[in-house]
Structure 1
Amino acid sequence: MKILFVAPWIPSPERPRSLILLRMLAAEHEVRFLGLVRNSAERRLAAQLPVADPVLVDNSRLGSVARSFRSLLTGDSLQTGYADPAALVPRLRQEIASWRPDAVHFNVFRTAHLVEAAAPVPVVIDLDEFRSEYYAQLAAEGSNPLWRALGRIEQPRMRAREQRLVQAGVPIILSGPEVPGPPTPGTAVVRSPCDFPLRPPGQVAGPVVLFVGRLSYEANVVGLHWFVRSCWAQLRAAVPDVTLRVVGADPPRSVRALVGDGIELHANVPEVTPYYADATVAIAPIFRGTGIQLKMIQSLAAGVPTVTSSTVASRAGVRDGVHLRVADTPDEWVRAVRDLLTDSASANGMAAAGREWAVAEHGTEAVRQQLARAYGMLSAPRPQRDSPVGG
Structure 2
Amino acid sequence: MRLLQLTPKPPYPPKDGGAVGNAYFLEMWNLAGWSAFCLTMSTFKHPYDPTYPTPVPLEAVPVNTRPTPWGALQNLFSAEPYHVARFRSSAYQHALSKVLHTYQPDLIQVESPYLTPYITAVSIPAVYRMHNLEWQIWERHAAETSPLLRPYFRLQAERIRAYEAKSLFAYAGLLPISEKEADWAYQAGYRGPMETFPFGLEIEKYTAPPLGENPPRLGFLGGLDWLPNQQAVVWLLEKVWPAFRRRFPEAELSIAGRNCPRWLYRYADSHTHILGEVPNALEFFHRHEIFLSPLFSGSGIRIKLIEAFATGRAIVATSIAAESLTFQDGVHLHIADTPEAFLEAMSLLYADPVHRQQMGAAARQLAETHYDRKVLLPRLKAFYLRVLAS
**Residue among 64, 87, 106 paired with 2:110:** 106
Give distance in 2, aligned partners of 1:150 and 1:253: 28
- Aligned Cα root-mean-square deviation (Å): 2.7
- What aligned pairs does 1:200-349 form with structure 2 within 5 A after superposition? 200-201=209-210, 204=213, 206-260=215-269, 262-349=271-358
Shift of 1:136: 1.6
**Residue among 6, 20, 38 paired with 1:33:** 38
Shift of 1:67: 9.9
Contact in 2 for aligned 1:8/1:35 (Cα 8 Å): yes
Deviates more, 1:76-85 or 1:324-333: 76-85
Shift of 1:376: 3.5
Which amino acid in structure 1 is aligned with residue 130 of structure 2?
A: L
Give distance in 2, aligned partners of 1:103 and 1:208: 46
Give distance in 1, aligned partners of 2:347 and 2:268: 21
Residue of structure 2 equivalent to 1:138: 141
Which amino acid in structure 2 is aligned with residue 110 of structure 1?
A: Y
Shift of 1:319: 1.2
> Does 1:81 pair with 2:88?
no
Give distance in 2, aligned partners of 1:176 and 1:220: 21
> Does 1:59 pair with 2:78?
no
Normalization by structure 2: what TM-score?
0.87
Deviates more, 1:199-208 or 1:339-348: 199-208
Residue of structure 1 equivalent to 2:180: 178
For the structure 1 residues 127 and 328, does the alpha-carbon distance in structure 2 shift closer, same or farther, using more than 3 Å as the test? same
Q: Secondary structure at the match of 2:179?
A: coil
Normalization by structure 1: what TM-score?
0.87
Give distance in 2, aligned partners of 1:326 and 1:18: 28
Shift of 1:149: 4.5
For the structure 1 residues 65 and 205, does the alpha-carbon distance in structure 2 shift closer, same or farther, using more than 3 Å as the test? farther
Residue of structure 1 equivalent to 2:167: 165
Shift of 1:145: 3.9
**Residue among 131, 153, 162 paired with 1:151:** 153
- 1:187-220 residue CA offsets vs partner (Å, 9 max, x unmatched): 3222112336124347846431101111111111
Give distance in 2, aligned partners of 1:329 and 1:75: 38
Percent identical residues: 21
Contact in 2 for aligned 1:80/1:112 (Cα 8 Å): no
For the structure 1 residues 43 and 210, does the alpha-carbon distance in structure 2 shift closer, same or farther, using more than 3 Å as the test? closer
Which amino acid in structure 2 is aligned with residue 24 of structure 1?
A: M
For the structure 1 residues 71 and 99, does the alpha-carbon distance in structure 2 shift closer, same or farther, using more than 3 Å as the test? farther
Contact in 2 for aligned 1:189/1:374 (Cα 8 Å): no
Unaligned runs of 5+ in 1: 382-391
Q: Secondary structure at the match of 2:10?
A: coil
Shift of 1:178: 0.9
Contact in 2 for aligned 1:259/1:265 (Cα 8 Å): yes
For the structure 1 residues 51 and 302, does the alpha-carbon distance in structure 2 shift closer, same or farther, using more than 3 Å as the test? same
- 1:95-139 residue CA offsets vs partner (Å, 9 max, x unmatched): 22333221111122332221214x211001112122111212222
Q: Secondary structure at the match of 1:312?
A: coil
Give distance in 2, aligned partners of 1:202 and 1:178: 32
Shift of 1:174: 1.7
- 1:297-321 residue CA offsets vs partner (Å, 9 max, x unmatched): 1111111100011233343121111
Which amino acid in structure 2 is aligned with residue 356 of structure 1?
A: Q
Shift of 1:181: 5.2
Deviates more, 1:341-350 or 1:77-86: 77-86
Contact in 1 for aligned 2:301/2:323 (Cα 8 Å): no
Give distance in 2, aligned partners of 1:164 and 1:179: 15
> Does 1:351 pair with 2:360?
yes
Unaligned runs of 5+ in 2: none
- Count residues in correspondence: 376
Residue of structure 2 equivalent to 1:7: 7
Contact in 1 for aligned 2:349/2:356 (Cα 8 Å): yes
Q: Secondary structure at the match of 1:124?
A: strand
Give distance in 2, aligned partners of 1:319 and 1:266: 31
For the structure 1 residues 179 and 43, does the alpha-carbon distance in structure 2 shift closer, same or farther, using more than 3 Å as the test? closer
For the structure 1 residues 191 and 230, does the alpha-carbon distance in structure 2 shift closer, same or farther, using more than 3 Å as the test? same
Residue of structure 2 equivalent to 1:385: none
Contact in 2 for aligned 1:17/1:193 (Cα 8 Å): no
**Residue among 49, 52, 74 paired with 2:54:** 49
Contact in 2 for aligned 1:210/1:245 (Cα 8 Å): yes
Give distance in 1, aligned partners of 2:196 and 2:120: 23
Deviates more, 1:29-38 or 1:302-311: 29-38
**Residue among 98, 108, 122 paired with 2:125:** 122
Q: Secondary structure at the match of 1:133?
A: helix
Which amino acid in structure 2 is aligned with residue 10 of structure 1?
A: P
Deviates more, 1:363-372 or 1:279-288: 363-372
